[in-house]
Structures are given as structure tokens and as C-alpha cells.
């Protein structure tokens, strides 16, 4: 009996070690190559045409980088994958009722989009937290932003900043104006429900708010943690 228990423990430990090694290798590989495809893209491609064009970060407007940070994760430069400030605020807002508010960071969204599958189970959420922490250990903030802007869905079957810019505005992601960048960032919570080219009143309100936040944070995306720390004090 004791030998059987020891064998089970060793097997579990071996599985956990192997999983961590493979996950680390996967994250390291994706730290320097373009992401070829995501599970959501595969799912979407079964029912519609999927548009996806990879672009390096220097070929994506700094205005869009700043807009998505202001819209989705204002503490992106200073957290380590999890934003406990936003988690607390979301918890307080959700207990008051009304619209349920999320608190996923950009890093968590990258973890979900690149390494995991789109559902709402506890297993997937726990895996998301695991990969988010692993990504922060291996990748730079610039790499996280680069991957996020390339795999995020900005419209129905439209993935990445370049495909979205070409589809909606007939220009490259490097040439986006402030308003166009804010529109793309505004639809990120529900890209199949909201439109960047035909914005609803809700999206228009989001655009105004995002542009105000962009002025507050500055128009240049510096990836400077000290700068952000001073801004939030």
C-alpha cells in the first residue's frame, strides 16, 4: 500500500514537473516568434473568414498602444500579471449590482488568447493566472503589448491591429489617428457586439473617455514604470 501511494505521489510530481517545463518552453518560444494562430481563430475560421496579419510593435501606432492600455489596463506597466487594484474595484462594483465588471489585465488576456481556450470554467481561469505570471517572468512589457495587439479580436473574425486598421479605416496600423485608435480600443470588451466604424452611443462615450485618459497619460508610450508610478501616486 505504501509503495502504491509513493508511486502515485511520484507520478503526480513527475507530471507537474513535466507540465511546468513544457509550459516554460512554450512561453519562451513565443517570446520571440510571431504567434502563428490561436484557438479562437481556429474556432472562428470554421464559420467565417478570419483576417489576421502580424505586425511588429514598431509598426503599430503608439496611439493604439496607449489607447488599449488606458481602456483595458491602466496599471499594465507596473503590475506583474495581476492587478489587485482593479480586482478590488471590480469586486466592490459587482457587489453593488448593475453591469458585472471584469478585472483581467492585458497579460491575462494574452495568456487566455494565446495559450488557452475560450470558456469560463475555473480550470481555464486558474490556467490563465498561471500563464499570466509565467509570461511576466519571461516576456518584456513591449512583447506582451505586441502580442496582445496582434491576437486581440477587434471585430467579427478580425484579429490584430493591422487587419482591423485595414478593414475599418483602409490604412496601416502605424498610421492610426488618435480617434481611430480610441475607437478600436473602445470595442475590445465586445468586438462582435460593438463597431469601430459605426459606433453606438455607448462606444462613442467610451471613445471620449479613452481620449481623455490618453491626454492624462501622455501621447507617447514609454513603457517607463517609474513614470507610471509617479502618475498613480
pLDDT tens digits, one per residue of 3-45: 777 767 777 888 888 889 999 999 999 999 999 999 999 999 9
Confidence of residue 117 (pLDDT cuts 50, 70, 90): confident
Q: Which strand (E) or helix (H) includes residue 64?
A: helix 62-72
146's CB contacts (< 8 A; 6+ apart) are: 56, 57, 60
State which fold the 35-232 domain adopts.
Penicillin binding protein transpeptidase fold (1.10.3810)
Name the pTM for this structure: 0.88
The residue ranking higher by pLDDT, 104 or 148, is 148
pLDDT at 2 over 50: yes
How do residues 57-101 score in pLDDT, each as one tens digit? 999 999 999 999 999 999 999 898 887 666 656 554 445 555 544
Q: Pull the grid cell for residue 118.
A: 475560450
Q: Which strand (E) or helix (H) includes residue 159?
A: strand 158-159
Partners of 162 in beta bridges: none
pLDDT at 110 over 50: yes
The alpha carbon of 136 is separated from its chain's Cα centroid by a whole number of angstroms, namely 13
Backbone angles phi, psi at 21, to 5 degrees: -65, -45
Amino acid at each position: 500500500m505504501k509503495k502504491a501511494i509513493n508511486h502515485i505521489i511520484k507520478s503526480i510530481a513527475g507530471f507537474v514537473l513535466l507540465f511546468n517545463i513544457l509550459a516554460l518552453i512554450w512561453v519562451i518560444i513565443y517570446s520571440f516568434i510571431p504567434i502563428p494562430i490561436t484557438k479562437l481563430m481556429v474556432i472562428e475560421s470554421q464559420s467565417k473568414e478570419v483576417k489576421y496579419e502580424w505586425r511588429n510593435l514598431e509598426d503599430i501606432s503608439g496611439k493604439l498602444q496607449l489607447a488599449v492600455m488606458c481602456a483595458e489596463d491602466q496599471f499594465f506597466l507596473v503590475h506583474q500579471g495581476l492587478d489587485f487594484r482593479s480586482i478590488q474595484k471590480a469586486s466592490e462594483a459587482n457587489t453593488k449590482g448593475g453591469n458585472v465588471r471584469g478585472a483581467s489585465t492585458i497579460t491575462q488576456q494574452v495568456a487566455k488568447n494565446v495559450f488557452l481556450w475560450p470558456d469560463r470554467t475555473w480550470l481555464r481561469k486558474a490556467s490563465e493566472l498561471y500563464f499570466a505570471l509565467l509570461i511576466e517572468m519571461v516576456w518584456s512589457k513591449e512583447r506582451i503589448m505586441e502580442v496582445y495587439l496582434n491576437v486581440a479580436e477587434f471585430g467579427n473574425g478580425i484579429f490584430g491591429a493591422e487587419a482591423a486598421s485595414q478593414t475599418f479605416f483602409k490604412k496601416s496600423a502605424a498610421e492610426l489617428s488618435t480617434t481611430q485608435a480610441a475607437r478600436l480600443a473602445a470595442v475590445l470588451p465586445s468586438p462582435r457586439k460593438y463597431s469601430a466604424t459605426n459606433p453606438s452611443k455607448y462606444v462613442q462615450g467610451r471613445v471620449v473617455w479613452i481620449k481623455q485618459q490618453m491626454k492624462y497619460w501622455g501621447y507617447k508610450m514609454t513603457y517607463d514604470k517609474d513614470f507610471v508610478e509617479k502618475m498613480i501616486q
